[in-house]
Structure 1
Amino acid sequence: MTKNALITGSTKGMGRSIAISFANEGLNLAICSRNEQELLKFKDELQQINPNIKVFTKVTDGSNKAQLLQFAAAAQQELGFIDVVVNSLGTYAHASILDEGEEVFESQLNTNLMPAYEMYRFFGKAMRAERKGHFFNICSVASLNPIAAAGAYSVTKYALLGLTKLMRFEMQEYGVKVTAVIPGSTLTDSWKDAVVDKDTMVLPEDIASAIINIYKMSIGANVDEIIIKPAPGQI
């Protein structure tokens, strides 16, 4: 039976590479984006990669709880049991806590933390009942060592790693796997205005490769956390 994966933040950066990798593995996909044209174009690309899979799409602002839950419910209705949830939605804000705007903390919470919490609450009960499934939460090296120049970002990524650990403790007796993916400097849109050498950074494809290899491990093996940093060190 074909398995199903749901990916947030799925048309750009790490989420995009992860979706492509799961398509290559033959999983049906549920993907979302705020941009309908971008979403439909990516759907076509995924089905060209693997014509045998279903790709469910829904225009969604992942930082909006109501829209996010509508996407989750529609994906479940369309595809059935969701075997894999990848929480890759995230955004970076460069400012210290004392200097950031009034709206920054709430925005970071709603993008970096809330979606993973809500997707766990939505899909976790079914996974617990079926005693199978896998959650991947895309954290950050800021989850381990805060960045002074990215205050709210660091706080929310710290919290996301804490949530991931709690999810794993709650789920391990039911055979549901939970993995924290902890990337260092990764060449995503966060760096689009910077002049960088891609050979000194982690690539989104590296994150996708790690997730696929973890996903394909034996039923009795779980990778609690994986840290992937640039070989020359953090930028």
Structure 2
Amino acid sequence: MKAVITGSSKGLGRAIARCFVKEGHDVAVTARNTTDLKELIDELKKLNASCKITGTTVDFEDVKSMENYCEIVKKEFGAIDILINNVGIYNEDVVGQNIDQNLKKNLEVNTFSAIRMSNAFLPSLKMKSSSHIITIVSIAALNPRIDAVSYSISKAALKCYTDIQRESLRKYGVKVVGIYPGAMNTSSWDGQDVTTKLMIQPEDVSKSILQIIQMSENATVEELVINTNKPLFNEQ
């Protein structure tokens, strides 16, 4: 199968790309800069030289940059089977602050990018008898964080769109899956007083996604919540 994975150079996106390539799937990846992109593609080719791997640098706040990436993928891959909307940003703000700029940035990357990517590849996804749009939402869409107002709003909006998208595309055989991870061991936690070994690991989520796409044509997972099992923050 052919998969597009956004935000692939680090953390969860990288784990998904590695997992897919190990299983023999072709992947189109993204990175923020050429150094990260080359490192990622080299690693994936070493894992499985028989897979087709393509990618470009993408600025997901720039519509033209996204459109360029989509055109490259369509030219090299043709129709795809799986779109994984993974790219996202996280920052903290609270009620009472001016969140205008934070909110715009979070909506642009966390919400609008998934909508734009889905629209770009929807014609080819609808051509397949069974295809997937898998969107990495966040547990914050279900339980908003009071210290991350803009992030929580953007993820709640993403959940809403994912739910609408699922029902809209069901008749075409496009399976729309919302993944809701809790605290995951990625670089976004650097510098914070948390125990990363108690967190969800990116591989926990990537393996779950692999199981989802391997289900029979008439079965799907609509939503998947993956949370931590133990307290993370050290008591003061």
TM class by shorter-chain length? Answer: over 0.9
8 Å CA contact 1:19–1:29 kept in 2: the answer is yes
2:158 aligns with 160
Equivalent-residue separation in structure 2 for 1:177 and 1:233 (angstroms): 33
1:190 to 188, 203, 208: 188
1:100 CA drift (Å): 4.5
Partner of 1:218 in structure 2? 216
Please give the per-residue CA displacement for 1:53-89, whole angstroms capped at 9, x wherever unaligned: 1111111112212111210111111111111111110
Q: Does 2:21 match 1:23? A: yes
Moved more, 189-198 or 135-144: 189-198
Alignment check: 8 A CA contact 2:130 2:217 kept: no
Task: Please tell me whether the aligned partners of residues 133 and 176 of structure 1 are also in contact (alpha carbons under 8 angstroms).
Answer: yes
Q: What secondary structure, in the 3-state scheme, does the structure 2 residue paired with 1:14 have?
A: helix
Deviation at 1:234? 6.2
Q: Distance in 1 between matches of 2:120 and 2:95?
A: 31
Match of 2:51 in 1: 53
* Mapping for residues 82-93 of structure 1, pairs under 5 Å: 82-93=80-91
- What is the CA-CA distance between 1:34 and the residue it aligns to? 1.8
CA distance in 2, matches of 1:234, 1:178: 31
1:33 matched to 2:26 = no
User: Whole-Å Cα distance in 1 between the matches of residues 79 and 229 of structure 2?
Assistant: 38
% identical aligned pairs: 32
2:206 corresponding residue in structure 1: 208
Q: How does 1:141-152 map to 2 (within 5 A)?
A: 141-152=139-150
In structure 2, the residue matched to 1:75 is 73
Q: CA deviation at 1:192?
A: 1.4
| Alpha-carbon shift at residue 131 of structure 1 (Å) | 3.6
The SS at the match of 1:103 is: helix
Number of aligned residue pairs: give it: 233
Q: Could you tell me which residue of structure 1 aligns to residue 135 of structure 2?
A: 137
**Could you tell me the TM-score, scaled by structure 2's length?**
0.94
Quote the Cα distance in structure 1 between the aligned partners of 2:36 and 2:126: 34
1:70 alignment partner AA: N
The alignment status of 1:98 with 2:117, answered yes or no, reads no
Q: What is the SS of the residue equivalent to 2:230?
A: coil
Residue 145 of structure 1: how far off its partner (Å): 1.4
Contact 2:142–2:156 (8 Å) recurs in 1: yes
Consecutive unaligned residues in structure 1, runs of 5 or more: none
In structure 2, what is the Cα distance between the partners aligned to 1:88 and 1:210? 14
1:228 aligns with 2:215: no
- Paired letter, 1:23: V
Contact 1:15/1:89 (<8 A) preserved: yes
Contact 1:62 1:68 in 2 (8 A): yes
CA contact (8 A) 1:4 1:82 kept: yes
Distance 1:151 1:112 in 2: 13
Distance 1:55 1:100, change over 3 A: farther
* RMSD over aligned Cα atoms: 1.3
Q: Would the aligned equivalents of 2:99 and 2:150 in 1 still touch at CA under 8 Å?
A: no
Provide TM-score, normalisation by structure 1: 0.95
